[in-house]
Amino acid sequence: MRVLIIEDDPAIAANLYDFLEARGHSVDAAADGLTALHLAVTHEFDGILLDLGLPGIDGIALCRKLREEAHLDTPILIVTARDTLDDKLKGFEHGADDYLVKPFALKEVEARLLALHKRHTGKLVSRTLQAGELTLDPKTLSIRFAGAAVKLPPKCIRLLERLMSEPGRVFGRRELETEVWGDTQESSDTLRSHMHILRRALIDAGGRDPIETVHGIGYRLRSDAT
């Protein structure tokens, strides 16, 4: 596995680094948020170990940036001395996948990273989705339409991914809401506004709107989307 350690305590960082490297993993380390952010967007990692108490950008803020700004979906394992429920919830809320309280056993860190990685790769569709001139790589989340790269918020990517999984099929509003937002009762405006952002971004890329509104039912991707 390629692992990024984000930890400002040099002794803990060195411990993690040495252990993981000795176990055959390829390891990078950052002692502050900015370095971490730079490494995370310029290199590919299979897992990120994130300490919450960091100088500069706090770990929770960094977690949010990695998810929302850098659009990374790499599994994030938070390691921290804070053990209150609030901190755990905040971590999950901002995109962390798992949580380990210091002091921890190095073997457990590795086991959790491996488990997260396995779950993550199991979820990924191995092939790039394509419909006409529209492509979506579920691994990198990169999207291209009419020859141009398209940047989208995570929920819009999820919506597009679902529509692209079966071009031409009509997806009901409720079905899309449940799949993208889970069981939380979102107002119909949430889906509509995300659909608007998605379609606007695709049109701005230079192609014809590949999504059709099916009145009274939902949406579908035109099977000839170009």
Shortest Å distance, C-beta 83 to Ca ion: 14
Distances in whole angstroms, Cα of residue 30 to Cα of each of 7, 36, 37: 6, 5, 9
Given a contact cutoff of 8 angstroms between Cβ atoms, the answer to whether 211 and 220 are in contact is yes
**Among 52-60, 120-128, 189-197, 211-219, which window interacts with Ca ion (CB under 5 A)?**
52-60
| Residue closer to Ca ion (CB basis): 72 or 78 | 78
Write each residue from 106 to 135 as x if it is in contact with Ca ion (CB under 5 A), else as -, in one continuous string: ------------------------------
Query: Using the rule CB under 5 A, is 8 a contact of Ca ion?
Result: yes
Shortest Å distance, C-beta 59 to Ca ion: 8
Which segments of 124-223 does DSSP mark as H helices, in order?
Answer: 154-165, 173-181, 188-204
| Residue closer to Ca ion (CB basis): 37 or 156 | 37
Output Rg (C-alpha) for the chain, integer angstroms. 20
Shortest Å distance, C-beta 53 to Ca ion: 4
Query: Using the rule CB under 5 A, is 53 a contact of Ca ion?
Result: yes
Give the CB-nearest residue to Ca ion: 53
CA separation for the pair 159, 171 (Å, rounded): 10
* 209 token code pair: 């709107």
Shortest Å distance, C-beta 90 to Ca ion: 16
Q: What share of the chain is helix, strand, coil (3-state, %, to 5)?
A: 45, 20, 35
Shortest Å distance, C-beta 106 to Ca ion: 17
Query: Using the rule CB under 5 A, is 87 a contact of Ca ion?
Result: no
E strands within the chain? 2-6, 26-30, 47-51, 76-80, 98-101, 129-131, 134-137, 142-145, 148-150, 171-172, 211-214, 218-221
# chain residues binding Ca ion, by CB under 5 A: 3
Shortest Å distance, C-beta 8 to Ca ion: 5
Query: Using the rule CB under 5 A, is 51 a contact of Ca ion?
Result: yes
**Among 43-51, 122-130, 149-157, 183-191, which window interacts with Ca ion (CB under 5 A)?**
43-51
Given a contact cutoff of 8 angstroms between Cβ atoms, the answer to whether 90 and 83 are in contact is no
| Residue closer to Ca ion (CB basis): 51 or 97 | 51
Peptide bond into 10 cis (omega under 30): no
Residues near Ca ion, by CB under 5 A: 8, 51, 53
